[in-house]
């Protein structure tokens, strides 16, 4: 038998045996619940002996290292054994004993890095340094998958926190850095699998954040959001600069936290749900999503173009079968803007704009956010009592793939803010789509646009963002909205005039501005996104309440034709003491006042979310639109 083959066979056998013994020991300790601290120390040394033997084997056999490394490592592995001999007998509950949980977590992580070291010494990669090589191979990924499944299997209670921890660790197992030795398309595929699992993980974190008002729930939701962000930042630097440090470090830190979280039970006491928890969560999760969108788009763009086009163009050509998912490279767009003009300040503004906009308008980012938000809208559907609110929740879910992905990206029909990314919008299609929006909003009110087509509906009408309703509004916004509408009309008019060759295109340095796309993208992918990020401060639907979405105000004008929120019986409102409708409205429309004056409310800023109908104490509200006329 070939020597190399025999050696490889021995390495694989050693790793499998070592994993088997480790899981047997750890499972034994965890299942027992109550353990003697001395036993934990003793067993930690057993695990460490196997770990240091892996290092010694890899170092001496494959790197031709000095043999004296072995006694030094064995001495290190004996430290817990020595401590066990001087520690008093003490029975502790493992999940309540931070010392035992921390020790075991550290030992397991060290053990898995050691196995990764042995594997990489035998099979590669050998391209970086020992630490990076140890955590950048498939053996390390397989261990993480087994960890996730094993701890889920032995968990006494299998609740959403356990599932979130499992998906968290399994998503790490598919990070592309672990497939560095494989062909580029395999790396891309693994990275897509990793982000798909992370999307499931993020949805679970949202659900924990909403439902768990306990210290443990908040800690898990916030910490996993932070580590998801760290990992995605690692993916971003790996995709952009081929840097392996951050992604490798983030994996090891995340693993350490994962083991602490499964081995230690944090207090499950109820806590007061203050705004700061959802706000920190929202910031972390959005940073994770942005980094994921940016990193995955750069990675996908570079890999697919280098494999299928044999070059790195500025835009993916049709010969790249993945052009529809990775049409542009946000990194290249940002870099291009750094020298767009001779003015440093303008360049800095353009660069920040390009980085953010090119990330948030990438199909990958929109699809990822669409999946997450749709699930949260579906949760709203399950919770809603009123049939019309339920039906609209379903329409919103259907609206994601149709109106925020398929139509704006893959046709040249104008859907505010997203179009023109892949296909240029023509004057004819622009006109037809504006007329369609007008007809739809005449028939169903502003909700036909704001509550089904625009991505705001997916973000702000869902079970998580629902909690950020402002307490009051200001009359200032009533006037501000007309300014934004005027700016939008000027942008649209300029676009029409440029298309008709009545006006020259606007140029800033090397960049030619299409007023239609600039206005749409600037509003939806820049202003909208910043307000979305700051939802806890500005409240849900700030676009409609503060009126900075000119297109929303435009569609709101047609609320005045057929659409009404009407009281079934005005006398019920006259005697109502709760005014729950007013409190429920995210736009802060004084609905009860309107009803007492006219019997209905049909303000321009009403997005038709249905919250007032859902929350009315006496189920006294209904929506009047074309459907109610047909039903009559």
> What residue ranges bind ligand SF4 (CB under 6 A)?
565, 567, 572-573, 576, 578-581, 584-585, 587, 589, 591-592, 595, 601, 606-612, 616-618, 620-621
CA distance 582 to 597: 15
Structure tokens at 295: 């990193």
DSSP 371-398: HHHHHHHHHHHHH--SHHHHHHHHHHHH
CB nearer ligand SF4, residue 113 or residue 587: 587
CB nearer ligand SF4, residue 271 or residue 572: 572
What is the chain's alpha carbon radius of gyration, rounded to the nearest angstrom?
29
CB nearer ligand SF4, residue 97 or residue 614: 614
Grouping H, G, I as helix, E, B as strand and the rest as coil, residue 30 is: helix
CB nearer ligand SF4, residue 136 or residue 535: 535
CB nearer ligand SF4, residue 170 or residue 623: 623
CB of 282 to ligand SF4, least distance (A): 22
CB of 569 to ligand SF4, least distance (A): 9
CB of 580 to ligand SF4, least distance (A): 4
Grouping H, G, I as helix, E, B as strand and the rest as coil, residue 419 is: coil
CA distance 392 to 219: 34
CB of 510 to ligand SF4, least distance (A): 43
CB nearer ligand SF4, residue 57 or residue 565: 565
CB of 552 to ligand SF4, least distance (A): 11
CB nearer ligand SF4, residue 239 or residue 580: 580
Strands 91-93 and 34-36: antiparallel
Residues in the chain: 632
CB of 587 to ligand SF4, least distance (A): 4
Strands 34-36 and 511-513: unpaired
Q: Pick from 315, 466, 300, 429: which is nearest to 367 by CA?
A: 300
Partners of residue 564 on adjacent β-strands: 624
Share of the chain residues as helix, strand and coil, in percent rounded to the nearest 5 = 70, 5, 25
Structure tokens at 191: 């990275």
CB nearer ligand SF4, residue 187 or residue 601: 601
CB nearer ligand SF4, residue 227 or residue 392: 392
CB of 506 to ligand SF4, least distance (A): 36
CA distance 162 to 139: 23
CA distances in angstroms from 597 to 562, 581, 590, 606, listed in the order given: 18, 15, 11, 17
CB nearer ligand SF4, residue 38 or residue 566: 566
CA distance 216 to 203: 17
CB of 521 to ligand SF4, least distance (A): 26
CB of 570 to ligand SF4, least distance (A): 8
Q: Which letter does DSSP use for residue 568 in this model?
A: S
CB of 458 to ligand SF4, least distance (A): 15
Grouping H, G, I as helix, E, B as strand and the rest as coil, residue 92 is: strand
Strands 600-601 and 34-36: unpaired
Looking at beta carbons, which pairs linking 24-27 to residues 24 or more positions away fall under 8 Å?
26/104, 26/108, 27/150, 27/154
């Amino acid at each position: 038998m070939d020597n190399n083959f025999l050696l490889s066979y021995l390495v694989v056998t050693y790793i499998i045996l070592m994993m088997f013994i480790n899981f047997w020991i750890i499972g034994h300790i965890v299942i027992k619940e109550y353990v003697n601290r001395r036993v934990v120390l003793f067993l930690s040394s057993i695990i460490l002996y196997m770990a240091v033997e892996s290092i010694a084997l890899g170092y001496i056999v494959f790197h031709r290292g000095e043999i004296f490394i072995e006694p030094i490592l064995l001495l290190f592995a004996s430290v817990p054994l020595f401590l066990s001999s001087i520690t008093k007998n003490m029975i502790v509950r493992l999940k309540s004993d931070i010392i035992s949980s921390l020790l075991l977590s550290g030992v397991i992580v060290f053990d898995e890095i050691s196995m990764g070291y042995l594997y990489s010494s035998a099979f590669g990669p050998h391209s970086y340094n020992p630490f990076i090589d140890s955590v950048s191979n498939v053996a390390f990924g397989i261990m993480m998958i087994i960890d996730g499944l094993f701890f889920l299997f032995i968990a006494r209670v299998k609740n959403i926190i356990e599932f979130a921890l499992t998906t968290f660790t399994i998503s790490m197992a598919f990070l592309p850095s672990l497939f560095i030795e494989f062909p580029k398309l395999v790396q891309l595929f693994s990275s897509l699998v990793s982000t798909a699992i992370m999307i499931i993980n993020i949805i679970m974190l949202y659900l924990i954040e909403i439902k768990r008002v306990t210290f443990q729930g908040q800690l898990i939701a916030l910490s996993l959001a932070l580590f998801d962000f760290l990992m995605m930042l690692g993916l971003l630097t790996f995709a952009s600069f081929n840097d392996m440090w951050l992604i490798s470090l983030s994996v090891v830190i995340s693993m350490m936290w994962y083991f602490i979280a499964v081995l230690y039970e944090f207090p499950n006491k109820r806590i007061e749900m203050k705004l700061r928890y959802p706000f920190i969560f929202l910031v972390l999760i959005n940073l994770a999503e942005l980094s994921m969108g940016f990193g995955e788009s750069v990675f996908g763009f570079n890999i697919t173009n280098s494999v299928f086009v044999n070059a790195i163009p500025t835009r993916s050509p049709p010969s790249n079968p993945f052009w529809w998912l990775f049409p542009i490279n946000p990194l290249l767009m940002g870099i291009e803007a750094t020298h767009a003009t001779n003015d440093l300040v303008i360049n800095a503004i353009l660069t920040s704009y390009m980085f953010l906009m090119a990330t948030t308008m990438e199909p990958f980012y929109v699809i990822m956010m669409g999946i997450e938000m749709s699930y949260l809208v579906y949760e709203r559907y399950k919770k809603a009592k009123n049939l019309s609110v339920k039906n609209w929740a379903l329409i919103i879910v259907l609206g994601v793939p149709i109106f925020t992905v398929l139509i704006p990206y893959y046709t040249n029909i104008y859907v505010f803010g997203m179009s023109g990314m892949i296909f240029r919008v023509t004057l004819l299609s622009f006109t037809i789509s504006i007329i369609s929006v007008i007809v739809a909003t005449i028939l169903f009110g502003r909700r036909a646009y704001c509550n089904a087509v625009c991505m705001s509906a997916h973000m702000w009408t869902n079970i998580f963002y629902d909690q950020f309703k402002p307490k009051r509004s200001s009359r200032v916004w009533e006037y501000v909205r007309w300014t934004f509408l005027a700016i939008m009309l000027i942008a649209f008019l300029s676009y029409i005039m440029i298309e008709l060759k009545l006006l020259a295109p606007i140029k800033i340095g090397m960049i030619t501005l299409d007023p239609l796309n600039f206005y749409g993208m600037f509003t939806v992918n820049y202003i909208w996104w910043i307000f979305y990020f700051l939802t806890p401060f500005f409240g849900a639907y700030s676009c409609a309440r503060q009126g900075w979405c000119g297109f929303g105000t435009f569609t709101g004008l047609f609320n005045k034709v057929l659409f009404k929120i009407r009281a079934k019986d005005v006398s019920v409102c006259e005697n109502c003491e709760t005014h729950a409708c007013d409190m429920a409205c995210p736009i802060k429309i004084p609905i009860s006042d309107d009803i007492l004056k006219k019997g209905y409310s049909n303000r321009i800023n009403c997005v038709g979310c249905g919250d007032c109908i859902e929350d009315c104490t006496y189920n006294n509200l209904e929506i009047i639109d074309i459907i109610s006329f047909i039903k009559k």
